[in-house]
Structure 1
Amino acid sequence: MLVHTRQEREAAARTWLLISARDAATARSDWKNYGVALLRCGALFSAVRIPAILVHAAAGTADRPAVADFLATALDGGPVFYDGGGQQYYALTPGSAARTWNVPDTECLGSDHFLGIPATDITAPDPRCAAYWCVPMDGPGTLCMPAAVAHLARHGRHLVAQQQSEEATARA
């Protein structure tokens, strides 16, 4: 039986992600020094940007550990990171997802996009950068299913719209 430790899977995921860097040595250095490196979307992966308000509505909370648990379940363990500076979540999906993505209030970053991706070992707020993995990559090529990400975003949109409607009715 072959057993891989979390540390081995993280190293494999890190190596896989580095394929998307213009220069792997620079990206490694940026991860070490700044906690984040610019990687090219579109070939190995795309990244769906979802506003935090939608994710928190779908999760029913903004509590960091609870949101991470929700995302891990809703996206079947697919990798997601949070950018606190932009108040956005990013779900990594197959590179082809950007070609057909059509979910309002979200964006799927594909070819010709570069994204600041946190180092694979940053799984909580870190002083080096505003981004961290809520659901770390489980290994190379492990990505979120686009349909699950779309469902989550649409559900969050529905809940936000419902809450806004109720608030407007209460004010009237």
Structure 2
Amino acid sequence: MNMQERQGEHVTTGAERSLAIEHWLLMAAEDWGRARREWRTEGVTLLRSGGLFGVVRINAEVVRAAAGAEDVTAVDHFLAQALLGGPVFMDQELLRYYALVGASTGCRLEWTLARDDAEFMGVGHYLGVPALDATTPKVRRYWCVEMDSAGELAPGDAVARLVRVGRSKIARGDRQLGG
């Protein structure tokens, strides 16, 4: 028996963690096999929101204003900090960020009315989720902030705060974008 086993510790490898996250996300797919193939061949698959997770879709203008930056790396770093490591992916063609949040986030007052710049997507929404290995802006859809473990989501309060800050900066004309 090694030291870790004696102390009741378990070491999880990156591959094990990725597989657990993949399986967790696949629970939102209509067909696991097809979804896995699409991730492998297309780099994206459709997943349902509203069960395991909800999604807040945020226009890039709002995120960049909140971050005070245009540089993709700086914005990605800001998101990791602002959303406390909660998972976010981006669609660079549509210029939208997608923060994965708890499904009950949609019950919050700020999400009761859909707005063009930020919207909660719950039951009845499908979204193109990038493969877990799409982690750089070299592809259309990529994980700006990777999911750290299965079921770990961005806090609804943190997402709402980011959107409020971005909207406020846009309204004030305080866009001091760097990078």
Aligned length: 163
CA distances 1:7-43 after superposition (whole Å, capped 9, x unpaired) = 3222211110000000000000110111100000000
Contact between 1:31 and 1:119, CA under 8 Å: does it hold in 2?
yes
Distance 1:62 1:6 in 2: 31
Q: Percent identity?
A: 47
Structure 2: which amino acid aligns with 1:66? A
TM-score by length of 1: 0.89
Distance 1:121 1:153 in 2: 27
1:160 corresponds, among 153, 167, 170, to: 170
Structure 2: which amino acid aligns with 1:118? P
2:17 corresponds, among 9, 18, 30, to: 9
Structure 1: which amino acid aligns with 2:126? F
Report the CA distance between 1:102 and its aligned residue.
2.0
Distance 1:151 1:36 in 2: 29
* Higher CA-based Rg: 2
Q: Which residue of 1 aligns with 2:36?
A: 28
Deviates more, 1:90-99 or 1:1-10: 1-10
Structure 1: gaps (5+ residues): 166-172
Contact between 1:77 and 1:144, CA under 8 Å: does it hold in 2?
yes
Q: Which residue of 2 aligns with 1:87?
A: 95
Structure 2: which amino acid aligns with 1:140? A
Distance 2:15 2:74 in 1: 23
Structure 2: which amino acid aligns with 1:113? H
After superposition, the CA RMSD in angstroms is 1.6
Which structure 2 residues correspond to residues 14-163 of structure 1 after superposition, within 5 A? 14-100=22-108, 102-103=110-111, 104=115, 105-127=117-139, 130-163=140-173
Structure 1: which amino acid aligns with 2:131? A
